[in-house]
Structure 1
Amino acid sequence: MTTQQELYDLGTRELAERDPVIAHLFEVTGPVSLPQQTDSNFAALVRAITYQQLAGSAAQAIYGRLAALLENAVEPERILRFSPDELRSVGLSGAKAASILDLSSKVHDGTVMVDDESLAQLSDEEIVAGLTIVRGIGEWTADVFTMIHLGRIDVLPIGDLGVRKGYGSAWKVPTPTPKELLQAGERFRPYRSVLAWYCWRADELYGGTAPSPVTGAG
């Protein structure tokens, strides 16, 4: 069975043959290196909500306090035992506490399926559509979860400014709009996750953006 890393390596080789910019980024930055995934699918989504619009250190501290409150059992049934105020006590905003409770409720009652068996039967688009019915999970969060945590190979988070800026810097064009990046990304199918990763790296290299956990560099 092909591993996630082998699939990304194959995608990189194919895109490098098609596109000299990808070939150059590969030469400069090396192969795709995704962060190690240790969370369950559910916990990864809770972490993603917690980290939204926060610096990494602050988000990490809040998530650590949340995990401690849950006795390191980041599970829907455990979260549903707590009130919004109790969740806010670890540093979550009211909106994030509400989002995490909504996710927990929808997973608990089966409205949203996050177990590996169910997700394996869904396309990338179906996963994103299913997740975005949860309060506080937008397309960006769902895309990054699908690409990074699930390791899907053909996801392009067009709502990510870093991806768009990196594309503009690497291909020497104005920063594309989400719609323009979607169109530009068509020629990179079925390996658009590889494109996205190298766009993030390009933004780090050329745009001065700090190394990101999403590229495994931060």
Structure 2
Amino acid sequence: MPPRHAKAIAHLSAVDPILGRWIAQAGPCSLTRERSGTHFAAVARSIIYQQLSGKAAGTIHARFEALFDGRSPEPHEVLKVKHTALRGIGLSERKAEYVRGLAEDVHRGRIPLERVDAMPDAEVIETLTQVRGVGEWTAQMFLMFRLGRLDVLPTLDLGIQTAIKRLYGLRSHPKPERVAKLGAKWAPYRTVASWYLWRVVDDPPQ
């Protein structure tokens, strides 16, 4: 386990005994950062995956890359593909528009994806949410799994809300404001806390 994960676990266990007990049961953190490909490809993939099951989204994404000989395309290459071709691989009308819009924004320099590594979290979210089809949740997933930022808490995420309800014995799903308040003490490792909360849903406590 990377040293920063060990440090995060020690902090989370110290400030939150309930979460700490679950961490001890769940085991080591295997949270990783996706470094392959480009930032553009990562955002395009997130748009394709929105509101679909993993299997269905994976199939459509594979068809998308097949349009470019099985690799992740550059923005200018996506702009050369007809809208009907994007629809033909299974993208909805709206998602096809979103992917082309992202390509246009990046190609024209309106969205400076090449600079996001140096931006603070809030600026990354502000930058990405200028793209049609990219909301706060998608931008947060980019921060967590693409940029490897350690202090992100997706308060709108249903899985996070479900996990908190189960783990802390709440009567109903907490609203985003309550999630943020509860998670304030997890800083500066709220990404790691989120990873363990998702495990509550995927592999419930015994």
Cα distance change of structure 1 residues 61 and 197 upon mapping to structure 2, 3 Å threshold: same
Aligned AA (2:81): F
Partner deviation per Cα, 1:39-67 (whole Å, 9 max, x = no partner): 32111111111111111111111100100
User: What's the secondary structure of 2:98's corresponding residue?
Assistant: helix
Partner deviation per Cα, 1:104-134 (whole Å, 9 max, x = no partner): 111111111222xx12221111101110111
Structure 1 residue 83: Cα displacement: 2.0
CA–CA distance in 1 between the matches of 2:186 and 2:24?
18
TM-score, normalising length from structure 2? 0.92
Residue aligning to 1:8 = 5
Contact 1:156 / 1:196 at 8 angstroms: preserved in 2? Answer: yes
* 1:1-218 mapped onto 2 (5 Å cutoff): 5-35=2-32, 37=34, 38-71=36-69, 72-115=71-114, 118-173=115-170, 174-206=172-204
TM-score, normalising length from structure 1? 0.87
CA–CA distance in 1 between the matches of 2:121 and 2:33?
20
> Cα RMSD over matched residues?
1.7
CA–CA distance in 2 between the matches of 1:119 and 1:36?
15
Q: How many residue pairs were aligned?
A: 202
CA–CA distance in 2 between the matches of 1:194 and 1:148?
11
User: What's the secondary structure of 1:195's corresponding residue?
Assistant: helix
Contact 2:33 / 2:144 at 8 angstroms: preserved in 1? Answer: no
- The percentage of aligned residue pairs carrying the same residue is 36
Contact 1:7 / 1:153 at 8 angstroms: preserved in 2? Answer: no
User: What's the secondary structure of 1:206's corresponding residue?
Assistant: coil
5+ residue gaps, structure 1, are 208-218
Contact 2:106 / 2:112 at 8 angstroms: preserved in 1? Answer: yes
Structure 1 residue 36: Cα displacement: 5.8
Aligned AA (1:195): A
Structure 1 residue 35: Cα displacement: 4.8
